[in-house]
Chain A
Amino acid sequence: MNYNFQFQDVFAAWPLLLQGTWTTIQLSLTATVLGLTVAIVCAWAKTSGPQPARWVVNAYIELIRNTPFLVQLFFFFFALPALGLRWSAHAAALVAMVVNLGAYATEILRAGIESIPRGQIEAGLALNLKRHQVFRHIILKPALKAIYPALTSQFILLMLSSAVVSAISADDLTSVAANLQSQTFRSFEIYIVVAVIYFLLALAFSTLFRFVYRLALDYPDRR
């Protein structure tokens, strides 16, 4: 092996890489928050909504979980504009990520909701809490606590699979890398550096989620 590694072109482009990293972080965190919101609504519909709502949610989950993210992305970016909806690559990427995460997180959250003992909900109703109060304080919060590890690893998986949105040039970290490699031809070096950045991002995200847990869900319970 007599390859001459040349990282200087890569490091010279650090402002671009930083910009791309920031876009990836922004996309992932926005998609996480919106996707979780979608999941909470869908999980509610699936566990205690009317029958037609359950069918719709089930169809949504099965459809998303059994097709690749890349195809969903192409669908949002190429097929929906054909129906008259014009939007940027960035918006299409964000929507695709939200829709994708929503389906996976719904399934995870449903498992959590089903683990809440029936008696706990009845106790809440007996204490004269309103339906939405019961859902928020007695069902949702303990359910989130119970499935927190699975949920956060899904968030991190989403951040990593957001590299795929570079396929429609959505200005994320991998898109920046692809542009750089077409200018400098240092593809191997660039992708090594970018892979390291993703690895560090994954570590940073798991630290952030641990912090959120301590802030919001770390209360004593009898388990």
Chain B
Amino acid sequence: MRTFGFPEFLFILEAAKWTIALSLIAFAGGAMGGLLVALGRTSQSRFAQASATAFVQVFQGTPLLLQLFLVFFGAPVIGIDVNPWVAAGVALVLNTSAFLGEIWRGCIQAIPHGQTEAAHALGLHYVARMRDVVLPQAFKIALPPTVGYMVQVIKGTSLAAIIGFTEVTRAGQIINNATFQPLIVFSLVAGIYFALCWPLSLLAARMERRQARALAR
């Protein structure tokens, strides 16, 4: 039986790069999807509103794990062969889109309606109104909760371990199966997540406090 030594430590630590890569993919894709969802939820078009709402309800109303399973087992059904990498990426992007979209919808709606009306009065069409007037202001309010949500995204990537994608949690399981030293292994795994997430949590809290002070003035 192997004992937990430096190579085992390195194996788990190196798997952290896959956790980070998956988090970045989920966040980048989720940001694009989230923007679409937020614009759909706040749009005038009934169709865009209804489809964005349905999307959000489905992805916020079912477990992330099940979404992962549905992509992983569902993709072969429509004739696409996926590996755990792609399945985890797609499921996390869709899930992140729904949650970021809801956060950003709130930020867009927090911008006073007079701004939109003024842009209308100046003859700006939808794209210019959103791009140059509403979204830049919404961006400022959206930043702290978005940074906070990145923590959820990083933690969500741990579920990819269940469909067999070797990131930190899966690496921990593998080492635990070989060494039977769960206390060290899972403390290390938890420590890596903590090291990734805690700075982001602190940053989000700091930005929130700064913003609260700025708004109070």
Chain A residues close to B by CB (< 8 Å): 1, 3, 62-63, 65-72, 74-75, 78-79, 81-83, 160-164, 166-167, 174, 181, 187-188, 191-192, 194-195, 198-199, 202-203
Any A CB within 8 A of the CB of B63: yes
22 contacts between A and B (CB under 8 A): A62-B201, A63-B190, A66-B155, A66-B194, A66-B198, A66-B201, A67-B194, A68-B156, A71-B172, A74-B173, A74-B186, A78-B182, A79-B187, A82-B180, A160-B63, A161-B63, A163-B64, A163-B65, A167-B162, A198-B62, A202-B61, A203-B61
User: For residue B62, which residues in chain A have a CB less than 8 angstroms away from its CB?
Assistant: 160, 195, 198-199, 202
Among all A-B residue pairs, the 3 with the closest Cβ atoms: A163-B63, A68-B158, A78-B182
1/0 per residue, CB under 8 A from A, across B59-91: the answer is 001111111011001100111000000000000
A174/B176 in contact, CB under 8 A: no
User: What is the chain B residue whose CB lies nearest that of A203?
Assistant: B61
Task: Report the Cα distance A62→B151, complex, angstroms.
Answer: 12
Any A CB within 8 A of the CB of B216: no
Q: A187-B69, A188-B73 are in contact. Are A67 and B162 (CB under 8 A)?
A: no
Q: A66-B197, A163-B66 are in contact. Are A83 and B186 (CB under 8 A)?
A: no
B193/A67 in contact, CB under 8 A: yes
A198/B63 in contact, CB under 8 A: yes
Given A3-B77, A195-B63, 13 additional A-B pairs, CB 8 A: A62-B201, A63-B190, A66-B193, A70-B159, A71-B158, A71-B169, A78-B176, A79-B183, A79-B186, A82-B180, A82-B183, A83-B183, A192-B70
User: What is the chain B residue whose CB lies nearest that of A5?
Assistant: B77
A71/B186 in contact, CB under 8 A: yes
User: What is the chain A residue whose CB lies nearest that of B161?
Assistant: A70
Any A CB within 8 A of the CB of B26: no
Any A CB within 8 A of the CB of B92: no
Q: A66-B193, A71-B189, A74-B172 are in contact. Are A1 and B65 (CB under 8 A)?
A: no
B65/A164 in contact, CB under 8 A: yes
Chain B residues close to A by CB (< 8 Å): 58, 61-67, 69-70, 73-74, 77-79, 151, 155-156, 158-159, 161-162, 169, 172-173, 176, 180-183, 185-187, 189-190, 193-194, 197-198, 201
Q: A174-B66, A188-B70, A191-B70 are in contact. Are A164 and B186 (CB under 8 A)?
A: no
Distance between B192 CB and nearest chain A CB, rounded to angstroms: 9
B193/A71 in contact, CB under 8 A: yes
User: For residue A160, which residues in chain B have a CB less than 8 angstroms away from its CB?
Assistant: 61-64
B169/A187 in contact, CB under 8 A: no
A74/B194 in contact, CB under 8 A: no
Task: Report the Cα distance A25→B77, complex, angstroms.
Answer: 31
A78/B198 in contact, CB under 8 A: no
B159/A67 in contact, CB under 8 A: no
Task: Report the Cα distance A194→B74, complex, angstroms.
Answer: 14
A187/B182 in contact, CB under 8 A: no
Task: Report the Cα distance A191→B53, complex, angstroms.
Answer: 22
Task: Report the Cα distance A1→B74, complex, angstroms.
Answer: 12
Task: Report the Cα distance A195→B161, complex, angstroms.
Answer: 20
A191/B169 in contact, CB under 8 A: no
User: What is the chain A residue whose CB lies nearest that of B184?
Assistant: A79
Task: Report the Cα distance A2→B185, complex, angstroms.
Answer: 45
Task: Report the Cα distance A181→B69, complex, angstroms.
Answer: 11
A71/B190 in contact, CB under 8 A: yes
User: For residue B74, which residues in chain A have a CB less than 8 angstroms away from its CB?
Assistant: 188, 191
